[in-house]
Amino acid sequence: MFELNVGETPNNVTHKEFKQLGDMTEGYSGSDIAIAVRDALMEPIRKLRMATHFKPVLLSAWFH
């Protein structure tokens, strides 16, 4: 369920780690897992919204 909900979102989670997440959430509904994944995917956005200082980033760094 975790892998399905993450979908094509880039991540470094291994198949083994997805399996561990599944084992840890035994008995959770698909909806529970979807909410947990959505919440985790939004964490970087929350951090950005709370940021008070930014530094310039070269655009070319994003395309390597």
Domain ranges, residue 20: 2-63
Q: What DSSP string runs through 1-64?
A: -HHHHHTT------HHHHHHHHHHTTT--HHHHHHHHHHHHHHHHHHHHH--------GGGGG-
Domain count along the chain: 1
Report pLDDT for 64: 58
Q: What is the mean pLDDT of each run of 10 residues along the chain (64 residues)?
A: 93 94 96 96 88 78 60
CATH classification of the domain holding 59: 1.10.8.60
Report pLDDT for 63: 65
Report pLDDT for 27: 96
pTM beyond 0.85, yes or no: no
